[in-house]
Amino acid sequence: MVNKTIPVVTASNDKYAVGVATLLYSILDKTKAFLDIYVLDQNISDAKKKLIRQSLNRFDNYKLTYVNMDRFDLDRFPNLEHYSTSTFSRYFLADILPQYDKIIYTDSDVIFMDDIQKYYDIDLGNKGLAAVTEETGVKYGLPWNHEYRKKLFGINPKHKYFAAGNIIISGDYWRKNKIADKLVAKTLEKKDDLKAPDLDVMNMIFANKYKQIDLKYCVCAHAWAQRNASSKLAASFKNPFIIHYTGRKPWDYDTVPFAQEFLEVLEKTKFYPIKGLYGHQIKKVRKYKLFGFLPILSIEEK
């Protein structure tokens, strides 16, 4: 049964606006559900907002709202390496959408490969959050190794780190348990030790208190080289429901895993062709697959 409305939230600054367009197009193209979409906005330009709306012109099953994040003072949080402070926007999901219990949050460097209705229908039980475990984190060197970080932050060693880029939350649980306040306090307390800021903090707050869901619901591109670390991880890479372009972005590099899948959506938006994409003004993108799986691209210059 199709839900009347599915609340979907993403966060973006101006740089990631192209990601917002491809994300939303990929979702709307595969569902009949009505989406109440919120973009947690950290200074996206009017010009790019116009391109996003024009990219979605063929769809009528959504409402799009931009939420100015200035009142949440995101600048008080650490601005680390390739993370922008907009990543902390997700802390305030339940407060921004008090009318909803169940809320989908997704980063903007993501595409959906299947109907978001199926994802939304996952039962949270009595948990405040559903997420995918990070299967490859135990293999990273310090300080990115999960076991090291669990010791550093005093997290129960039995806890499995989860990916924070694609989550489903219970708004009622978050509001009742003042999760936003806890996330903010822990971020400011641990700011000098954080490497993956919101990821580390959310794993501290939800240690052994979240619902683990199938790995296909957040297939992280940066884990491509370690995709055979487990049979479940390998299966998720062969049949991803959600692709998260962690690490290098497919609008900057054509060599990232699943670049072909991203470009197939990008080509349908008003952000295509992007002047300067991969160093060229694109005329045509030729797509190949190596061994039937790995996307290889050949780009002709205009």
Which residue has 């922008």 as its token pair?
84
What local confidence, expressed as pLDDT, does residue 93 receive? 95
Question: How is the chain split into domains, by residue range?
Answer: 6-252
Q: Does 263 score more than 70 pLDDT?
A: yes
Of 115, 23, 7, 127, nearest in space to 67 by CA: 7
- The average pLDDT across 233-260 equals 93
- Find the length of the chain: 302
Q: Does 287 score more than 70 pLDDT?
A: no
What local confidence, expressed as pLDDT, does residue 3 receive? 60
Q: Does 121 score more than 70 pLDDT?
A: yes
Q: Are 280 and 299 in contact (CB under 8 A)?
A: yes
Cis upstream peptide for 273 (omega within 30°): yes
Sequential DSSP letters for 116-149? HHHHHT---TT-SEEE-B-TTGGGSPTTT-HHHH
Give residue 1's pLDDT band: very low, low, confident or very high (50, 70, 90): low
The encoded tokens of residue 155 equal 């997290």
CATH number at 6-252 = 3.90.550.10
Buried b (16+ CB within 10 A) or exposed e, 245-270: bbebbbbeebebbbbbbbbebbebbb
Question: Between 2 and 22, where is the model more confident?
Answer: 22
Average pLDDT, the chain: 88
Q: Does 297 score more than 50 pLDDT?
A: no
What local confidence, expressed as pLDDT, does residue 279 receive? 45
Question: Between 271 and 4, where is the model more confident?
Answer: 271
